[in-house]
Each structure stands twice: as structure tokens, then as C-alpha cells.
Chains A and B, each alone.
Chain A
């Protein structure tokens, strides 16, 4: 089985068939991760470079682990201390790296479209590890995997993404992927942080958590950046927590337990109350584990298809 694309730039437009293939493949790698020896050989001899132009701890570690467990040779690169700080362009950086005969590139970048740009200038397989507010496809996949693992299927599942939708690549990848798999997706957040015409992506828009909580199976709670307050998107973190923070009291209004997800890192007691983050209904740590499996699946499928 092969994917229909040689890159993973986003989940928009990826078919149900391909998404299912990735999720099924992730399931077999999850089983590998449970073994005492967690390394398998399929990417032996392949070289992967992780280009992180934007700081990230968990995504980078998760990719590195996934790469090493597939036996790839791994080079990681962070923007500071590299030629980028000397003014080299993304195109030159990419071409130089390719001149070193790299097979796959994982890129994280602050600009939307950076992964698309890279895929046009290099021949290596490109995996988007987050481009601006555009997409973060492997996060979307690990979120879908986690939900599928818990509920058996994504068809008809009701998920609400809560918080700063405007600036969130996690939200977009979740919307694209989940909708393709037949889930019902809504978003909830302050009107200032809901992008224009998002309804046209097939999602319902809410501004009051109490309206959405009775009708969902899971809440995917996004991290709120403090600088959004300074830019005038909302008045204060206190007010944000009061009206958009997900807390035990608020989810208690639902007639059945609601699964709590968060892409991390959590601002405890801001967008998500600490007790809820640590509760039995939270799958936040499963998401982290599944992230390695989902990334192994993507790396494997792209890296062995040529």
C-alpha cells in the first residue's frame, strides 16, 4: 500500500483511503512501541533532516524518536546557531542540505506555506511539522489516532476545538482530517479568534462553551498564547479562563464523560484546568505516545514508497 503523495504538506485534500492507511500503519507501530526493543529496520540507510526554524521541543523529539526507531540516520537543525541567523534564505538552506544527499526533510517554520515552498525546491520527501497558522498534519493524525483508538471509529464522532482557531495550525489539520473521516467538527472561541468564513469548511461556530459541551464527545483544547492579549484579541487571561477555559465544573454539565485533548504544552488553569488535564478523561499523554506512532507511520509510508 502506498500514499497518493510523496510529501505530507497538510491534511486538506488527503483522501479517506490515505488517512485510513496512515492510521492503520500507526496502529502497527504503536504495537512496536510496546515491545522491549522498540527499533525496526525499514528506513535503514535513509537520511532524514529535521529543519526546525521555529522552536519546538515535543514535536522535534517526537519526530527524532520516530525516525530513530525506524533506523534512519537523523540530523537535526535548529534555526539559532545556523546559517539562517546569518541571513541565508530558506531556499539556499534547503538546497545546501539537499546537496548533502538527504532523503527526507521534516520542516517546522513560522510562515504558512513554508513546507510547500520547500517541496518545490528540493527532491527529498517533505513532511510538514507545522507551517505558521496553516497546517500541522502529524498533530492532526495523532489526534485522529487517539480518538479512533478510544472510540473505535471517527464516523459521526463529535469534536469541538476550543480556543485560538485563528492562529492554529492544529485546528486546521484537525478540521480537514476529521471531516474527511466523517466526524462532526465544531469550533468554540472568542469572536476575535475565529477566522472569517470558517463555517465554509463545514464546521459549526460557537462562542459559549456551555452551548457546545452538551453535544460533544471530545474537546480539543488549544494553547492560548499570552501575546494574543497584547495584540488586543482578548482582554485578560483571567477573563479568558473564566469564559473559554475548560474546567471540571463546565464539563460536568454534560450527561456523559467528555474526552479532553490538548496539543501541549498546557498553560495549566488558563485554557484548561489542572485537575481536568490530569483526570481520567484526559488523553493528553496518550496523544504524546501516539504522536511517535503516527509519525513513524508517515515516515515509513513516504520513506519506503520510492
Chain B
């Protein structure tokens, strides 16, 4: 595969480059980078004037549902959605059936990722932190790590027991692999289906109090202080207090990192009014103050990563009473547009910061090799049209599931192609 990327603005947080230049790619590897580079033999010319070339984006928090829940999503449909969302890599959570708590499942998922979509999207499994995600005994972390797991998490459920959490932090620290916590003090959230606050009071809906998240993060930070060699990553931060806790812990130089989803920096719990189950996720949408705090925390570096928590569910599963509906929304195909619209356009993030949070920062947290955009390196790139205006149409999603609260939303900024592992995908005819 030979490509000639002409006149794009390369934004590479790893090298610090932000300049207009050409990239020639020969046989899937970068041949030359610079001003007025000569095209390789029979290279396809792609004019990127006004467009952005970024290192390949990674979504470190997705649910691919395979094995076990293939009616919601498969590794193939999930990877296709990722590709169309501009991601060249995803990390998939272990709440499958069987759970990713055994090296054979890690190998299956990782291997399947190489087979689907011509292997253009790298699939990095997150191993379970405990056997069966049951929170009782440690999962075989060493075996999982050697098979290719890049993080450990019981996501969907928290690691509840302080004792197990302590041991998980200690054991994972031997491999430099983070424990990714779904922070929720379950005894405070049972039966809840939206943020506890004014809107839940109005709607008479059982609430999930923000303190359930904050209490767990607070406890974990105390444990981390006791096991300082461990690495602790908070999944889907949703409240102002959680961001404050992480900010303080970072000042203390603890090994703590965290992520936020696009929906948590975009929507408030007010959208639950009307009982549309595509507004139901865990953690739930919070208040306007929390949304503002997410943006500020992204800006000041407290939040390292933007990750989607892509959680596919079928229409039949979601078209039920709000309290009965499963938690979660799909996110891969709207993430970049939401981030550009809400963060770059609103001046919370500069472009290089956005790309950092979608590429280099999550890779560093997961100890994945940094993407190099230099001669000799495998081309792993996401091409972005920063000005493209489009309207979200869930029916056009490549994901098997369509459960998104963003249908009909006008966004700015869209991926126009990805390059990875000797393959390319270029998107035209995006709706809107």
C-alpha cells in the first residue's frame, strides 16, 4: 500500500511537531516526512490541504461484546465502528461471556482483532482483575499479561473489596499494568438508574448519588498511597469531586490517571426527562456543574484520556421501561465529532491536546509503544477534517447497535480516513 499524503497539518504530540508537510508511505511504512516529499511508486495521492494528520487514535474503553453477546456487537462490527470513528486501536473490556479472565480468551479476542477488517484496527484486551469479575479472587494477571492483556478491570462492576483491591494493585504493579476501576460504591447505588439530584427528584426515579463514585475513588487513592508502585486508572470519571480527588492525588505524584467519556463532557441529567433509555448509562449523566468540571479537568490535565465506554445494546433490549433498560450507549462513531465540537471549538483544548488525550496519553498509560511518525515506522495514522459539519444519524452507524442519545445532533470535525498495519480506509459520503 503506497500513499502520498500531501499538504496536511501533522499534529504529533510525541515528537511535538505541528506543521504542514507531506508524508509518503511505501508498503505501509513511512518512507519520508517533510516539506515537498517525492511520492513513492504508484502512490495514491491524497490531498490533505486544510486537514489534520494525527497518530492513530485509540479508544481505551470499549465493549466489543464478543464472546458471548454477539447479538449486540462482534469484534468485527465493533472494529468497523472504531475505524469509521477514526480509531486505529481499541481496548475491549472483559465483561464478556466467558469473561476475559483466562489467557485463552485474551488470545481469542486479540487474534480475532487481527482477522477482522483486514487487521486495520488493533484490538488490545483488558483482562479481568478478578476471576469471573466476581471480586473474590485475583484473575491470573501474569498469564493474562503475557497473553496480551494491557490493563486489568472488572468494568461494569467495581472491585468492591478493599482487600482484593489492595492485592490487585500489588500484584499488577509487578507488570506495570494499570488497574482500571469502575468506581462505584455499590451499596449506595442499588436500583438507581440516573444521577441523584433535582431531575431524579422531579421524575421520581431511583438515583445514583455522585458520592458513590467519589467514595470509591477516594478509597482507592488511599490504597494507592499505601501501594505506590501500582498504577491506578479511574474509568469514566463523571463528577466534579472525582476530578478534584484525582487532581489532588496527581499533585501528590501518585500513579493515578483517568478518563472521561464524550457524553459526560457533553450532556447533563436533564436529558433523562422524557425517559429515553439511550440516556441511561453508568455512571449516569450528571449536572451542568459536573459537565463544566469535566471540561476544566481536561484542560488542566487532570483528565488524561477521552474514552467512549462504547456499550452496544440492541433496540429490543433498550426499548423497555427506563428502570429495566441496560446501562450504556455506543460511542465510537461520535467521539471525535463531540470532542472537536465541545472541547476544541469551545477552546478548552488545543488540537495537540485533544490528540494527546485520544492517542499518546492512553498508549502511555497502557504501556503501548508510542506511535512514531518518521521514516521506517509502520504508518499508524488518523486523518481528520477539522471543519467538516455533519449530523449524527444512528441508522448509519457501523456498530451493530444504535443506542445513542446523539441522533440528530450537529457536530463539527470528522475522521476522513485511517492508516494502520499496511491497510488504509478512506471515508467519503459521510452523511450531512
A contact residues vs B (CB 8 Å cutoff): 12, 89-91, 109-114, 116-117, 121, 131-135, 167-169, 172, 195-198, 200-201
Contact = CB atoms under 8 A, between A and B. Distances in A.
B322 A12 contact: no
B202 A113 contact: no
A152 to B, nearest CB: 30
B194 to A, nearest CB: 10
B202 A201 contact: yes
A117 B197 contact: no
A134 B203 CA distance: 5
A131 B274 CA distance: 13
B323 A111 contact: yes
Given A132-B323, A197-B198, A113 B316 contact: no
A101 to B, nearest CB: 23
A113 B320 contact: no
Contacts of B275: 112-113, 116-117
Contacts of B274: 116
Which of the listed residues A109, A112, A169 has the most CB atoms from chain B within 10 Å of its own CB?
A112
Given A195-B200, A196-B196, A112 B207 contact: no
17 contacts: A12-B202, A111-B324, A112-B204, A112-B322, A113-B323, A114-B321, A116-B274, A117-B320, A117-B322, A131-B204, A134-B204, A134-B205, A167-B204, A169-B204, A195-B201, A196-B200, A201-B201
Interface of B: 196-198, 200-207, 274-275, 316, 319-324
B207 A117 contact: no
A116 B275 CA distance: 7
Contacts of B321: 90, 109, 111, 113-114, 117
A112 B206 CA distance: 9
A89 B324 CA distance: 10
Contact of B320 (A89, A110, A167, A201): A89
Contacts of B204: 112, 131-135, 167-169, 172
A170 to B, nearest CB: 10
Contacts of B202: 12, 172, 201
Contacts of A111: 321-324
A177 to B, nearest CB: 14
A133 B203 CA distance: 8
A196 B197 contact: yes
Contacts of A132: 204-205, 323
Nearest to B205: A112
Contacts of A134: 203-205
A116 B203 CA distance: 11
A90 B316 CA distance: 11
A133 B202 CA distance: 10
Nearest to B190: A231
A12 B398 CA distance: 39
Contacts of B197: 196-197
Contacts of A112: 203-205, 275, 322-323
A8 to B, nearest CB: 16
Nearest to A200: B198
A90 B318 CA distance: 12
Contacts of A121: 319
Contacts of B316: 89
A12 to B, nearest CB: 7
Contacts of A172: 202, 204
Nearest to A172: B204
Contacts of A89: 316, 319-320
Return the 3 tightest CB-CB contacts between A and B, nearest first: A113-B275, A133-B204, A134-B204
Nearest to A133: B204
Given A111-B324, A113-B321, 4 more contacts: A89-B320, A110-B323, A111-B321, A112-B323
A195 B197 CA distance: 8
B201 A113 contact: no
B419 to A, nearest CB: 43
Contacts of A110: 323
A123 to B, nearest CB: 17
Contacts of A197: 197-198, 201
B153 to A, nearest CB: 30
Given A196-B198, A197-B198, A133 B322 contact: no
A266 to B, nearest CB: 22
Contacts of B207: 195-196
A129 to B, nearest CB: 14
B39 to A, nearest CB: 55
Contacts of B319: 89, 91, 121
Contacts of A114: 321
Contacts of A168: 204
A54 to B, nearest CB: 12
A284 B41 CA distance: 90
Contacts of A12: 202
B79 to A, nearest CB: 31
A172 B198 CA distance: 13
A168 B196 CA distance: 16
